[in-house]
Amino acid sequence: MNKILKKERLNPTVVRMELEAPLIARKALAGQFVILRAEERGERIPLTVAGQDRSAGSVTIIFQVVGGATMALDAKREGEYIADLVGPLGNPTEVEGLKKVAVVGGGVGCAIALPVARRLGELGAAVTSVLGFRSASLVILEREFSDCSARCFLTTDDGSRGERGNVCMPLGRLLAAGERFDAVFAVGPLIMMKYVAETTRPYGIRTIASMNPIMIDGTGMCGCCRLTVDGKTRFACVDGPDFDAHLVDFDEAIRRSRIYEGFEQRARERGCRLLRKEERR
C-alpha cells in the first residue's frame, strides 16, 4: 500500500500525484517508470516517474485519465492508499555528454519528457523544449519546462495558445535554419513521434522516442510490449522504453496499440460506474 501524499489537477483530464515510495525515490532516474495498481483487483498500468523527492521518500506521477485503470486511480483522494507500486523499471534515458538537445513533448507525453529535460538542464545542456497540445485548456507543465530550458516553443492544434499547428513545425523550422542538436528526444502519441522522426531523418540527427506500448509485467516475461526496431523484436519494458526513432516500426506499433480498443471501451464504461456518487453528479 502506498499513501497518496498530494493530488493536484493540471488540466481537465491530467492529474499530478505524489506517492509515498521511499525505495523507488532513492533509485529512480529520468526515463524510468513504475507499474502500479490503484486497487488490489485492478489493472497494472505503467506510469513514468515524473519526479522524486529523495528526502521526503516520495515519487511524482502525472497521468491522463483515459480509461478504467486511470479512472480508478483518479477516484483516489489525498491521504488514501493505492494497492501497490513497483519500480523503478526500464532503462534510464541516456543523457550523459549531450550539450544541445531538443526535447519534444506531445500532450501528456510532456509528463514523460519533463524529467529528461530537467536532468539535461542539471547537467548543463542547452535544452530547447517544444511542447504541443490540442488546445489552450490542455496545456500543462509550461512553467516547469521554462525553468529547465534555454528556450521553449508551444504549439496548439487549434491555435488557441502559442503557434497554430504541431510540434514538427517549430522543430522543422529550426533545423531548416541550420540549427543542429546532439539529440532530439520525443515523447507523445505514436503518430507524433513518427513525424518527429521523419522531420529529423534528413538531417541525420540522433532521435530518441520513448515508446509506450501496452505493458503487463514490465519485466520482459509476457511479450506484450514488443516492438520491431531495426527489423528485430524488442521489449519496451526491458530494452527501452527509449529507442532510436529512425529504426522503430511505428506503423506496426500503431496497429498493435489498437488491438484492445473494444475491451478498453467496456472498461471505461465500468470505470464510470466506479466513480464516487458525488463525482458522478
Residue at grid coordinates 528526502:
55
Residues between 130 and 149 that touch ligand FAD (CB under 6 A) = none
Q: Judge contact between 148 and 128, C-beta under 8 A.
A: no
The sheet that has 2-11: what strands, in order across it?
A: 51-53, 58-64, 14-20, 2-11, 81-82
* CA 205 – CA 182 distance, rounded (Å): 7
**Rounded to whole angstroms, what are the CA distances from 201 to 97, 182, 246?**
21, 13, 7
Q: Judge contact between 167 and 38, C-beta under 8 A.
A: no
Residues between 66 and 105 that touch ligand FAD (CB under 6 A) = 66-70
Residues between 170 and 229 that touch ligand FES (CB under 6 A) = 215-218, 220-225
Number of residues that bind ligand FES (CB under 6 A): 12
Residue at grid coordinates 521553449:
152
Residue 31 interacts with which of ligand FAD, ligand FES, none, CB < 5 to 8 Å by class: none
- Bond before 46 cis per omega within 30 degrees: no
Shorter beta-carbon distance to ligand FAD: residue 58 or 70: 70
Residue from 2, 10, 21, 46 binding ligand FAD (CB under 6 A): 46
Residues between 215 and 234 that touch ligand FAD (CB under 6 A) = 215
Helices 190-200 and 250-257, interaxial angle, to 10°?
Answer: 170
Q: Considering only 19-27, 65-73, 133-141, 196-204, which stretch makes contact with ligand FAD by CB under 6 A?
A: 65-73
* Distance of closest approach, residue 15 Cβ to ligand FES, in angstroms: 23
* Distance of closest approach, residue 182 Cβ to ligand FAD, in angstroms: 24
Residue from 10, 95, 112, 209 binding ligand FAD (CB under 6 A): 112
Residues between 234 and 273 that touch ligand FES (CB under 6 A) = 235, 237
Residues between 196 and 215 that touch ligand FAD (CB under 6 A) = 212-215
* CA 260 – CA 14 distance, rounded (Å): 22
Residue 220 interacts with which of ligand FAD, ligand FES, none, CB < 5 to 8 Å by class: ligand FES
Residue from 17, 85, 101, 111 binding ligand FAD (CB under 6 A): 111
Q: What is the 3-state secondary structure (H, E, C) of 63-92?
A: EECCCHHHHHHHCCCCCCEECEEEEEECCC
Our finding on whether 52 is near ligand FAD (CB under 6 A) is no
Record the cell numbers describing residue 261, joined without a space.
Answer: 480498443
Q: Judge contact between 132 and 71, C-beta under 8 A.
A: no
* Distance of closest approach, residue 98 Cβ to ligand FAD, in angstroms: 21
* Distance of closest approach, residue 67 Cβ to ligand FAD, in angstroms: 2
**Helix H or strand E encompassing 58:** strand 58-64
Residue with nearest beta carbon to ligand FAD:
67
| Residues lying near ligand FES in the complex (CB under 6 A) | 215-218, 220-225, 235, 237
